[in-house]
Amino acid sequence: MMKQLTLTRPDDWHLHVRDGAVLKDVVPHTAERFGRAIIMPNLQPPCCTVDDAVHYRQRILEAVPEGVQFEPQMVLYARDNMTADDIYAAADSNIVRAVKLYPAGATTNSDSGVTDIRNIDQALAAMQEVGMPLLVHGEVTDADIDVFDREAMFIERILKPTVERFPELKVVFEHITTAQAAEFVQGADDRIAATMTVQHLLLNRNAIFEGGLRPHHYCLPVLKRERHREALLAAATSGNPRFFLGTDSAPHPQGKKESACGCAGIYTAFAGIEFYAEIFEQAGALDKLEAFASFNGPRFYGLPVNEESITLVREPWTIPDSFAFGDNERLVPLRAGETLQWRLQGSASE
Ligand SMILES: [Zn+2]
């Protein structure tokens, strides 16, 4: 049995760190493990302009522990009024990597999202021209579509027509949750990729209802049936370079998760690479982990691979019941109080 695992420093291609006082509690978890992270822009108000991104990036960098190298990769939030000039400004900024499409109402702080993708056609044409990826939250939001079918419906109604209309546009289908999404990406050309989260590779929808209602297993897109989890795991470990790591770690205060109307989002950044090591090992595919975590993302984004490496050691440890979260709140992580098999060497939690 392998005792230790050295990897090129990985990146997290889908991350929420929120803003304000909580940055100092969550950013170090990511920065300890990952060289870069795609920072999701769904703040209130959302991060929509280069100026917003410059300032948000600065606040994140102030929360990175001294001596740690970490580069936030900024993303603009698409709204109905986004123009081609917004994209040219983003491309010139050298800090904005992508644009995020949230169908209006799809998830946390998405109320000002795009109401019809054709409203941003000019921006999409400019993105196609400059090679800037569109990151999609792939769910339709129609009230008459079952919540478990929203991703599959998005592929047919929105994604397929859009990639046909913009044949060179780079697209990352974020946090995919279904066999249909994995098949769509496998069958698409090189400009279409997908991120996969810890929770969608590890859990099926039974986890939401195991012995009672489990708010800490509620995320969007919601967990799906076991056959979908199996399809995602097969895709992640297949060696296809268009699947890569994106935790979608999404912290919320304990009180907003454990509530009559709990927020969607699962916190995994504190062990963002360790969880994937466990998942890939259980699938007998540890040899595929480094490409998934460290090579495929930079290749798709046209960035260099990180130069440093990290080492994971097989040393079971107990996940804390909660972490500090801002001045008065607590943050409950995935699998709180349970055991994780791999530990990051030299981490603060060691
Ligand atoms: Zn997300």
309 - beta bridge partners? 8
Please answer whether residues 295 and 8 qualify as being in contact, where contact means their C-beta atoms are separated by less than 8 angstroms.
Answer: yes
- Both ends of the chain: CA-CA distance in Å? 21
Q: Look at residue 326 and tell me if it is in a domain.
A: no
pLDDT over 70 percentage in the chain: 99
- Cα-based distances in Å from 119 to 114, 123, 344: 8, 9, 45
Rounded average pLDDT over 170-195: 98
Please answer whether residues 176 and 196 qualify as being in contact, where contact means their C-beta atoms are separated by less than 8 angstroms.
Answer: yes
Mean residue pLDDT across the chain:
96
* Digit-coded pLDDT (tens) for 314-331: 999 999 999 999 999 999
pLDDT at 169: 98
pLDDT at 350: 43
- Paired tokens of 238: 């297949």
Please answer whether residues 206 and 224 qualify as being in contact, where contact means their C-beta atoms are separated by less than 8 angstroms.
Answer: no
Q: Give residue 3 CA to ligand 1 midpoint distance, Å.
A: 33
Q: Look at residue 343 and tell me if it is in a domain.
A: no
pTM for this model (two decimals): 0.97
Pairing of strands 323-325, 192-196: unpaired
Q: Look at residue 283 and tell me if it is in a domain.
A: yes
Sequence-ordered alpha helix ranges (H) in the chain: 23-33, 50-62, 84-93, 121-130, 150-154, 160-165, 179-187, 198-202, 226-236, 254-257, 274-282, 289-290, 296-301
Q: Look at residue 224 and tell me if it is in a domain.
A: yes
pLDDT at 203: 98
pLDDT band at 108 (very low <50, low <70, confident <90, very high): confident
Q: Look at residue 350 and tell me if it is in a domain.
A: no
pLDDT at 79: 94
* Digit-coded pLDDT (tens) for 27-63: 999 999 999 999 999 999 999 999 999 999 999 999 9
Look at 7-11, 59-63, 140-144, 167-171 and tell me which has the smallest mean pLDDT.
Answer: 140-144
Q: Give residue 14 CA to ligand 1 midpoint distance, Å.
A: 6
pLDDT band at 112 (very low <50, low <70, confident <90, very high): confident
How many structural domains does the chain have?
A: 1
Neighbours of 133 (CB within 10 A): 23
Q: Look at residue 124 and tell me if it is in a domain.
A: yes
Rounded average pLDDT over 5-20: 98
pLDDT at 348: 57
Please name the residues in contact with 277: beta carbons below 8 A apart, sequence gap of 6 or more.
Answer: 5, 286, 289, 312, 341, 342
Residue 299 has pLDDT above 60, yes or no: yes
Q: Look at residue 339 and tell me if it is in a domain.
A: no
Catalytic residue among 248, 287, 321, 327: 248
DSSP state at residue 9: P
Residue 120 has pLDDT above 90, yes or no: yes
173 - beta bridge partners? 136, 194
Rounded average pLDDT over 278-299: 98
**Residues within 5 Å of ion ligand 1 by Cβ?**
248
Q: Give residue 19 CA to ligand 1 midpoint distance, Å.
A: 15
- In whole angstroms, what is the distance from residue 229 CA to residue 237 CA? 12
Query: What CATH number is associated with residue 67?
Result: 3.20.20.140
Q: Reply yes or no on whether 121 is catalytic.
A: no
Q: Give residue 164 CA to ligand 1 midpoint distance, Å.
A: 25
- Paired tokens of 248: 């979608």
Q: Give residue 265 CA to ligand 1 midpoint distance, Å.
A: 8
6 - beta bridge partners? 311
Structural domain of residue 294, as residue ranges? Answer: 11-308
* Digit-coded pLDDT (tens) for 217-237: 999 999 999 999 999 999 999
Neighbours of 168 (CB within 10 A): 12
Q: Look at residue 323 and tell me if it is in a domain.
A: no
Q: Give residue 193 CA to ligand 1 midpoint distance, Å.
A: 16
